[in-house]
Chains A and B, each alone.
Chain A
Amino acid sequence: MSPSSSSSSALSSLHLAVALDGTGWHPASWREPEARPRDLLTAGYWADLVAEAERGLLDFVTIEDGLGPQSSHFLDPDERTDQVRGRLDAVLIASRIAPLTRHIGLVPTVVATHTEPFHISKAVATLDYVSTGRAGLRVQITARPNEAAHFGRRSIPPIEGYDSPVVTDLFDEAADYVEAVRRLWDSWEDDAEIRDAATGRFIDRDKLHYIDFEGKHFSVKGPSITPRPPQGQPLVTALGHQTVPYRLIARQADVGYVTPHDTDQARAIVAEIRAEQETAGRSDELLHVFGDLVVFLDDDPAEAAARRDRLDALAGEPYQSDARIFTGSPSQLADLLREFQAAGLTGFRLRPAVLGHDLPAITRGLVPELQRRGAFRTAYEADTLRGLLGLGRPANRYAAA
């Protein structure tokens, strides 16, 4: 059943993910008492966050990343000293946490623009092994000229906005990138390792496949050095704000994150993605569309609003985001999520304004509220991330039928 057809009747459970970034999404979040800004580079900090998310039975966490320092500017670096700067590699954070958790999905950000699909494919396959089937990736592009200069391999001309042809090309490259990564995941059939003592063969090499990917920006021969991961295809996710990234989501993703500010926008975005999905020949596949929301969450809505004002005052300017900013109580947020769900979204990726405060407010406030309404799981019902999201284990594209 396609999720697009389920919007009319009784709503099913929704899916919840949390986006982890530094001390939270508000730039002054690090100044809150619960923030732990001196621990950001330690494993313990991330382990505690993911343990909290797992306590709340969330589907997965995403981990932000980038190939340069964080910046308050759209494209250029800044020299601010009043915000969190510096971060660890997201894939490695996820892997460091994997053995400490059992159920929750781990979805690090990977930047397609300057990195190697071969390396990322085996890294996320390995994350799937170390987490026994809970890995995914969130693919991102970078149009930042300063990040291109960190690699020195190509220059990226300055752009005015996301409608630039430069960006379209970067998204096309990202789509190729995901295609190569996915082919590499399939480049070993599941039963390729045979350990046949009689013939002395460890593998049946007929079950290993060259992927022979050739694109405009790169080609990859294959096969992967890493056998097919436990989920077959780890989860692929991407954030989009307009047609070009929606197309990437429709062509290549299992979960797309979108940023509607009201239910009309949500309906329009979902319709556009579903149309692109059909164009891509994937209409029979389950593709989740999650709404991204920044959340300030307190039992007393006035307290949440006051907290937001206080943080804005510390930052010296009102916080702005691509996503809708929600300020209120868990019950109000549950109402909003159900409205968005009725408009066609199947889940949400919440961006806690202050991780130390708003993540526990999600797991201990919002989750019980949704559970009371029959809108969220009361126990983990599957062993893999794909399983939690109702995605089957896909057949291998190279396996003979």
Chain B
Amino acid sequence: MSKPLKQIHLAAHFPGVNNTTVWSDPEAGSHIEFSSFAHFAKTAERAKFDFLFLAEGLRLREQGGKIYDLDVVGRPDTFTVLAALAAVTEHLGLTGTINSTFNEPYEVARQFASLDHLSGGRSAWNVVTSWDAFTGENFRRGGFLPQEERYSRAKEFLATTQELFDSWHGDEILADQESGVFLRDAKAGSFVHTGQHFDIHGRFNVPRSPQGRPVVFQAGDSEEGREFAASGADAIFSRYATLKEGQAFYTDVKNRLAKYGRRHDQLLILPAASFALADTDAEAEELARIVRRQQVSGATALKHLEFVWNRDLSSYDPEGPLPDIDPDVSDNHISKGRAQVRMYRDPLATAREWRELAAANNWSIRDLVIHTGNRQNFIGSPETIARTINEYVQADASDGFILVPHITPTGLDAFADKVVPLLQEQGVFRTEYEGPTLRHHLGLAHPDDVQDEQRVAS
């Protein structure tokens, strides 16, 4: 018996503030003008993508005590751009990363409920946490949160916003001009939340939005992050886009759902995926190689090595050999405001391994960084990429992908024009949007229906 084909979910990640994004290419446009966001969103909607994804930053990254200047720097406010994009698109989901540490539930709930109303039910929230005092310096509380409490606060934050979303049921506004009754319920929006992190009460002032609650994404990969996602997220923005790793992650997370009374189809796994697309596989390989060199300039290679060495390496030649000295393993890290530093848990071992690799292959610093960095996840002709994506999804390495183009804002155009039609021909990707809301696109039930279902089941 053959399994029915899974439908693929596709999303577009606006090129980010990191070295995946190539700003030096002649085709690269503005990262801040609204026209770039509008172009990108319209391309995604033309291709019938599920949603657009916007990341967030709350402190400019620094290295060696100075603002990091080699990548794209600067981005707009997430909510504000998404609300404006709702005006230039009709169906596309609008997913924004919003930090749960440097915000308060009442305000974030108002903003997401407002965005959901203003977009006719297309909002989604990628819940992230942070704890560092570095970012905290931009906010009222400073770096107030011990690292070990970040997930407990994020969980309570999410639960609290959901109580706020649920404080209106959707039928309170009568607005009967004849009788003069505007509200059916004098106490609509009432809430009380008492917990470890939040002790708030009163009345929420945004009535129930079209999706009830925004779709919730989770992005962390730790044990706690996986559990957090299984307990309450609708989708995971994951890192594992290779087949084997993807399958392992997929199985692990989906198997955690049962203990929360949730089914496999109530949590989507959507890894980030970069791509190099050209007319032929050979041309795509060549393009991939060129893009990797664009992504890792000599200056970028040195800075990347500094994450591991934790030292100022500016006197080294990026086209020359790796440093002989060992990494500084003290706690005070040279890089601030980025997650990447935590990837190298044993810098001494990494340095040793890299020196051996470079020596064996006769690699310069820049060559080493290019070769040890991430290759594009999908490289090939439209046929190759369409086939690979479909294979991965049907093999349960994911439920789809969040594509990360390297050029702003046109990096998605060729994918939309050439790869999407092939997926549609194979019957694994929609040719028209089937409903108005992001929940429709993702096949997720409205929260009211989920609650009804659970009531019936119990």
A→B interface (CB under 8 Å): 28, 30-33, 35, 37-38, 41-43, 66-70, 77, 79-89, 91-93, 95-100, 114-116, 118-119, 122-123, 125-127, 129-130, 132, 146-147, 149-153, 188, 193, 195, 197, 199-205, 208, 217-223, 225-227, 314
13 residue pairs of the A-B complex, CB under 8 angstroms, read: A31-B180, A43-B87, A85-B183, A99-B38, A118-B138, A146-B202, A188-B74, A200-B24, A200-B300, A201-B70, A202-B71, A204-B69, A314-B180
Residue pair B84, A98 in contact (C-beta under 8 Å): yes
Contacts A81-B181, A83-B182, A226-B76; A100 near B87 (Cβ below 8 A) = yes
Roughly how many angstroms separate A88 CA and B206 CA in the complex, as a whole number? 6
Residues of chain B contacted by A83 (CB below 8 angstroms): 182
Roughly how many angstroms separate A100 CA and B77 CA in the complex, as a whole number? 19
Residue pair A227, B74 in contact (C-beta under 8 Å): yes
Roughly how many angstroms separate A38 CA and B173 CA in the complex, as a whole number? 8
Residue pair A95, B84 in contact (C-beta under 8 Å): yes
Choose among A86, A149, A197, A222 the residue that contacts B24 (Cβ–Cβ < 8 A). Answer: A197
Contacts A92-B115, A314-B180; A87 near B206 (Cβ below 8 A) = yes
Interface string of B70-85 (1 = CB under 8 A from A): 1111111101110110
Roughly how many angstroms separate A100 CA and B118 CA in the complex, as a whole number? 13
Roughly how many angstroms separate A87 CA and B209 CA in the complex, as a whole number? 11
Residues of chain A contacted by B142 (CB below 8 angstroms): 219
Which of the segments B4-12, B100-108, B148-156, B374-382 contacts the partner chain? B100-108
Say if the beta carbon of B60 comes within 8 Å of chain A. Answer: yes
Roughly how many angstroms separate A386 CA and B34 CA in the complex, as a whole number? 20
Residue pair B83, A114 in contact (C-beta under 8 Å): no
Roughly how many angstroms separate A130 CA and B76 CA in the complex, as a whole number? 10
Residues of chain A contacted by B266 (CB below 8 angstroms): none
Contacts A129-B34, A152-B199; A201 near B60 (Cβ below 8 A) = no
Smallest CB-CB A-B distances: 10 pairs: A221-B137, A126-B80, A200-B299, A89-B114, A130-B84, A95-B83, A126-B76, A79-B186, A37-B175, A152-B200
Residue pair A200, B70 in contact (C-beta under 8 Å): yes
Residues of chain A contacted by B70 (CB below 8 angstroms): 200-202
Roughly how many angstroms separate A381 CA and B304 CA in the complex, as a whole number? 50
Contacts A118-B58, A217-B140; A37 near B79 (Cβ below 8 A) = no
Residues of chain B contacted by A37 (CB below 8 angstroms): 175, 177, 182
Say if the beta carbon of B188 comes within 8 Å of chain A. Answer: yes
Query: Residue on B with the closest CB to A135?
Result: B80
B→A interface (CB under 8 Å): 23-24, 32-34, 38, 57-60, 66-67, 69-77, 79-81, 83-84, 86-88, 102-104, 106-107, 110-111, 113-115, 117-120, 137-140, 142, 168, 173, 175, 177, 180-189, 198-203, 205-207, 209, 297-300
Residues of chain B contacted by A226 (CB below 8 angstroms): 32, 74-77
Chain A's nearest CB lies how many Å from the CB of B108? 10
Roughly how many angstroms separate A308 CA and B337 CA in the complex, as a whole number? 58
Roughly how many angstroms separate A125 CA and B84 CA in the complex, as a whole number? 13
Residue pair A222, B138 in contact (C-beta under 8 Å): yes
Query: Residue on A with the closest CB to B71?
Result: A202
Residue pair A147, B202 in contact (C-beta under 8 Å): yes
Interface centre among B138, B168, B300 (most CB of A within 10 A): B138
Contacts A116-B140, A205-B66; A41 near B79 (Cβ below 8 A) = no
Residue pair A88, B299 in contact (C-beta under 8 Å): no
Choose among B60, B139, B203 the residue that contacts A69 (Cβ–Cβ < 8 A). Answer: B203
Residues of chain A contacted by B182 (CB below 8 angstroms): 30, 37, 81-85
Residue pair A225, B117 in contact (C-beta under 8 Å): no
Choose among A77, A88, A116, A218 the residue that contacts B102 (Cβ–Cβ < 8 A). Answer: A116
Contacts A88-B114, A123-B77, A130-B34; A96 near B202 (Cβ below 8 A) = no
Residues of chain A contacted by B187 (CB below 8 angstroms): 79
Residue pair B84, A96 in contact (C-beta under 8 Å): yes
Chain A's nearest CB lies how many Å from the CB of B186? 4
Residue pair B299, A86 in contact (C-beta under 8 Å): no
Residue pair B81, A96 in contact (C-beta under 8 Å): no
Residue pair A95, B80 in contact (C-beta under 8 Å): yes
Contacts A35-B177, A41-B117, A88-B117; A67 near B107 (Cβ below 8 A) = yes
Residue pair B73, A77 in contact (C-beta under 8 Å): no
